[in-house]
Structure 1
Amino acid sequence: MSSAVRTEPLPGEPPLRVPGDPYSVVVLLQGYAEPEGVGGAVRADGSVTLILPRAWGPASSPREPPPEGGEAKTALEEAARGPILVDTGGPWAREMLLGALAGQGVAPVDVTLVVGTHGHSDHIGNLGLFPGAALLVSHDFCLPGGLYLSHGLGEERPLWLGPGLEVWATPGHGGQRDVSVVVAGTAMGTVMVVGDVFERDGDGDSWQALSEDPVAQERSRKRVLGTADVVVPGHGAPFRVVRETWNLETKDPGNSRQGPVGNMDQTMHR
């Protein structure tokens, strides 16, 4: 037997919602990167994704502040009990971000954790909107007020936030400290929000020119394609990953892990 992987873009415009239990994923703003003018100028902004725990709602009782001491593990799990934002876009997208959050019934004060996949301005430009949230930017984790906690994240050691919810170290694009968020158990299988590990679907080899460590990023890209059913890239539409297994004797293809992503119309809601 042999296997092949291909990707397919997901139709539709943001906000795109993938329901799940215990977490749903909402792509609030779709990133882009477009050449403009001369001299290699590019107009760009990063994707912004919201992760909503099933038990949370706008009418939920006021949350307890994250513990001010103790272990990062406990603080991360507590922070993941409310809405989680993965990347914030650039400061020029402030009003768009606020409007997109409001469309989901979420106010900035409701957000309990912000994950910045890496430290570029088009991905973490609106951190100031969330002073009451815990922040995990690249590998730096701090509680409101700037109390930093050590956590031990590494490529072989993900951070567990809740059932089926993890942060992975996916180095390459911005150096050694990029991260991705993994959400298992959605109606479309495992969703990975990967920052610029993938610029967009079909980015070919173009990502290499933007990578601080192409060898590490290639390794991260392979991990993502080996795990995800849906990928939210940094600068393009979400796309699904389809794995096909081939019988080398009969040369007949057989779809593998096709169930979670087979009928998008029934699982993806605007």
Structure 2
Amino acid sequence: MKKILLPTDFSEQADYALKVAASLARQNNATIYLMHMLEMPSHLLSGDTNLDVPEQLLFMKIANERFEKTMQQDFMQGINVEVTVESHKAFDGITMAIRQYDIDLVVMGSSGVSGIKEMFIGSNTEKVVRTADAPVLVIKNDIENFNVSNFVFASDFTDDQKLVFEQAVDFANSFNAKLHLLFVNTPNRFVTTAAAEKKMNDFIASYDELGEHETHIYNDDTIEHGILNFSRAIDADLIGMSTHGRQGLAHFFNGSISEDLVNHALRPVITFKI
């Protein structure tokens, strides 16, 4: 993990995410790409070039002043930072930056249970979480020292999850975290305990670098509730799951489960794209 993208609107929640990004950067000797989308009028974002130059300079001046204030915070000292200002719409700018800078991890701030607000509202949340080519770590609260001791990875443990699982294992190993592999059983998709155990054991059998871990089968009324309730029960530091592009999560993850978890979980959530 050498390149971390932190999109910021300079909100309190963005600062929470930046504090976590700084902690990760310090632990991994990584660079933070701190990106702000200029709050320009919609006609400029749509390609109108008639905006007066003084107005453009004013937006840039405000952004630079905010960057200076951000960089003066104690937790940013000694961190390698590349600052970038974009005039794209939020989702487009994030997607382009991931590819342009070959980003390893995106860290985003989120507020409340209604999703990622301000520059990350509505469809931007869904698009970034579901389709980003890099893992996305969503932070909601102020975390003084980001450390992961118990990492819940929820999956249906089918073959198309293997590449995602490798990324989750690497992330867990970077913290020497205990990995809790979670299969959620629901009434609509009931699987016997014996069948679920065999599926999980067969899935992890080929992983030599799998560190400390446990497998869990948890019964609940929905997948989302199962993940949230189990994570609460063990006081997990992080919840991980896969995304499946615009089709939602593979197999047992249906519809909007990824963004629902991001919206409702008070704990940090990391998603990995299949």
The TM-score with structure 2 as length reference comes to 0.31
Whichever of the two has the greater Rg, that structure is 2
Task: Name the structure with the higher helix share.
Answer: 2
